[in-house]
Amino acid sequence: MKCSVIYGDIFARHDLRIHKESSSRLRNVLSGVPSGLTWRSPVQASIRDLERVHRPEHVRWIRQLAHGTYYLDSNTYLTSHSFDVSCYAAGSAIAAVERTLQGEHCFALVRPPGHHAEPDRAMGFCIFNNAAVAAARALESVDRVAILDWDLHHGNGTQSAFYDSDRVLYCSVHESNSFPGTGWIDEIGSREGRGYTLNAPLHPGATIADYLLVFEEVFVPAIRRFEPDVLIISAGQDSLSDDPTGSMNLSPADFQVLAGIMVDATDLPLALILEGGYGPSHGQAISHIFSALQGGRISPEAPPARRSTLEIVAFLKNVCFY
């Protein structure tokens, strides 16, 4: 299956050098992209695209504020370039999904990240919700979209966008008791969407064995039963053991394992959208993800999954829509 990358220098223009989420991240990310891939240019989202997820007043507010350096909260900033860059991040996520509908894996290496952005609020380094905007656009032409979020932090914004919907299956594995304080095991969706949100808040120190148990026993069966037309990965690699933002214990090669599982879960190409990842081995993890997309498979070596993870899996099996 073909594999492509969406990237452009535009993503370096949303920048505050003293901030953890700065353009310097891109050097590490790009170091992991192998040769021989198809590179595609960024695409800008329209206001209509953004407003499928975000309230019009939120979009207007961000546009009006983005004329200089401004902090939206204690950790989310704007510069004079941020509105345009954020539109390109969301639009490139849409383009990645469109490439998968054409039969190729596509990784949108975008920033700022998006999965914390709620319909009416920017937060957690995120301005617009790239994955949610892409999913909402896809739902205009397909019936069902699955989103798997393996970022260290819970994607509260993505969950919020589709919490009442049975057309989007949202699966998140994340570190418990971490920012933003959401993603508890009993957050399973509401109304028609009950059972279509699956949260696995793993205890700090989780290894690939814990992740594998969640994927193989809960997420993969749910996705197969859901039969999505599109499969989106919110790909944040901040659960690496050397990442300064968390306390998980994954290695770069573990992301090859996770990506390979998702490639093999269905016959769908993956649309991956970059989220977090701030540690020195992030580029290596990106390289391993591309290896999985190109057919490489490895078997992990790890101690057995912990009892706490077994309990999470047992609970989720009882509440999932299937």
Note the Cα 45 to chain centre separation in Å: 18
Torsion, CA 126, CA 160, CA 103, CA 144, rounded to 10:
-170
Q: How far apart are the first and last CA of the chain?
A: 30
- Strand-pairing partners, residue 130, are none
CA-nearest of 40, 24, 28 to 285 is 28
Question: For the purposes of burial, counting CB atoms within 10 Å of the CB of 247, is it exposed (0-12), middle (13-18) or buried (19 or more)?
Answer: middle
What is d(CA 316, CA 198) in angstroms, rounded to the nearest whole number?
7
Q: Where is 149: in which H helix or E strand?
A: strand 145-149
Q: In what order do the strands lie in the sheet with 270-274?
A: 38-40, 2-6, 104-108, 270-274, 230-235, 145-149, 168-175, 197-202
Identify whether the C-beta of residue 115 lies closer than 8 Å to the C-beta of residue 131. Answer: yes
CB 101 within 8 A of CB 63: no
The per-residue b/e assignment along 272-311, b for 16 or more CB within 10 angstroms, e otherwise, is: bbbbbbbbebbbbbbbbbbbbbeeeeeebebeebbeebee
CA count, 13 A, side-chain hemisphere, 307: 0
Query: Look-up: residue for tokens 């594998």?
Result: 212
Task: Identify the active-site residue in 14, 58, 116, 174.
Answer: 116
The question of whether 116 is a catalytic residue gets the answer: yes
Strands 230-235 and 168-175, how do they pair?
unpaired
Which amino acids are annotated catalytic? 116
